[in-house]
Amino acid sequence: MIIAPRRVTAPGNRTRLMAFSGHSFFQEYQADMRMQARGDAELWQAGCTALEEDWRRLADEERRWIRARLARIGALQERLQALFAAADGAAHCRLCRGACCDRGKYHVTLANLLALLAAGQAPPPFDAAAPCPMLDGEACRLGAAQRPFNCVTFVCGPVEDALGAAGAAEFYSCEKALRAVYEDFARRYAGGGMNGFLLAAARLAGRSPLARQDVAPAGLRGLLPPARVGVSEEG
Ligand code: SF4
Ligand code: SF4
């Protein structure tokens, strides 16, 4: 759970890294990182543009299915946020300077982007210099109801201790219910996996993230047993 300024780098780490900055292997490493960041930005942009287009053309029935689950996700995540706030999680995150956001690049899933689109907001551009596309300066641009599963369900030891036994029990019960809703998206849509939208966009290579994968192609309907029809590409 992150609601505080992120840690750019620990002072000691930065000193050690900068000590290698003149070496050729370090420059090659930096060049690799820049190429990867450019690739990520292109993937993100292409995936988001395609998703916006798909969302505009989506059938009403499909939108209703999505909105019903987004509402459930929103309610559960708001509850998780309330438990986190009651445990004074913000103070803990400020102390560690939001370390969790340093690894946020792959947390955003299809469901989170759909939550933005359903609210009439466009996905943000990918900032290659930021560790997560949702980081806006020093804060997450998403409200608790829209944040990725990983971001709202992770609590480190100090925060978990502060939740207390009853708070932790409710927290993990909400997490279980929330995971089930995200898995609904993973089973239904080609880009709906829990591994994050960026990875899904790379795997789909231009195929729509909203392509249904829980229904058999027309020619196979009636030929496959029902259990096969619901099989998803991801666990
Ligand atoms: S490690 Fe703990 S205190 Fe730090 S940002 Fe994550 S949840 Fe907050
Ligand atoms: S979406 Fe990104 S910026 Fe927001 S809480 Fe998660 S990791 Fe941090």
Given the CA of residue 112, which atom of ligand 2 is nearest to it?
Answer: 1
Q: What is the pTM of this model?
A: 0.79
Dist CA 66 CA 55 (whole Å): 11
Residue nearest atom 6 in ligand 1 by C-alpha distance: 100
Q: What are phi and psi of 58, to 5 degrees?
A: -70, 140
Q: What is the pLDDT of the chain when averaged over all its residues?
A: 80
87 Cβ inside 6 Å of ligand 1: no
* pLDDT for position 218: 58
Quote the CA–CA distance of 188 and 90 in Å, as a whole number.
Answer: 35
CB distance 134 to ligand 1 below 6 Å:
no
- SS3 track for the chain: CCCCCCCCCCHHHHHHHHHCCCCHHHHHHHHHHHHHHHHHHHHHHHHHHHHHHHHHHCCHHHHHHHHHHHHHHHHHHHHHHHHHHHCCHHHHHHHHCCHHHHHCCCCCCHHHHHHHHHCCCCCCCCCCCCCCCCEECCEECCCHHHCCHHHHHCCCHHHHHHHHHHHHHHHHHHHHHHHHHHHHHHHHECCCCCCCHHHHHHHHCCCCCCCECCCCCHHHCCCCCHHHHCCCCCC
CA dihedral over 65, 176, 117, 85, signed as positive or negative:
positive
Q: Identify the nearest ligand to the CA of 161 by its number.
A: 1
Overall average pLDDT of the 160-168 stretch: 96
With a 6 A CB cut-off, is 90 part of the ligand 1 pocket? no
Tell me what pLDDT residue 113 has: 95
Cβ-based neighbours of 78, under 8 Å, separated by 6 or more: 144, 145
Which residues partner with 189 through β-bridges?
A: 212
**Residue 135 β-bridge partners:** 140
pLDDT at 81: 96
Q: Which residue has the higher pLDDT, 144 or 17?
A: 144
Q: Residue 147 — very low, low, confident or very high, per pLDDT cuts 50/70/90?
A: very high
Ligand minimally distant from the alpha carbon of residue 99: 1
Ligand 2 pocket member 4 (CB < 6 A) = no
> Is the CB–ligand 1 distance for residue 159 below 6 Å?
yes
Indicate whether 229 pLDDT > 50: no
Ligand 2 contacts CB of residue 107 (under 6 A): yes
How high is the pLDDT of residue 5?
44
- Residue closest via CA to ligand 1's atom 3 equals 93
Structure confidence by residue, pLDDT tens digits, 174-215: 999 999 999 999 999 999 988 899 999 999 888 889 999 998
Q: What residue's CA is closest to ligand 2, atom 8?
A: 101
Class of residue 189 by CB neighbours under 10 A (exposed 0-12, middle 13-18, buried 19+): buried
Q: Is any atom of ligand 1 closer than 6 Å to the C-beta of 151?
A: no
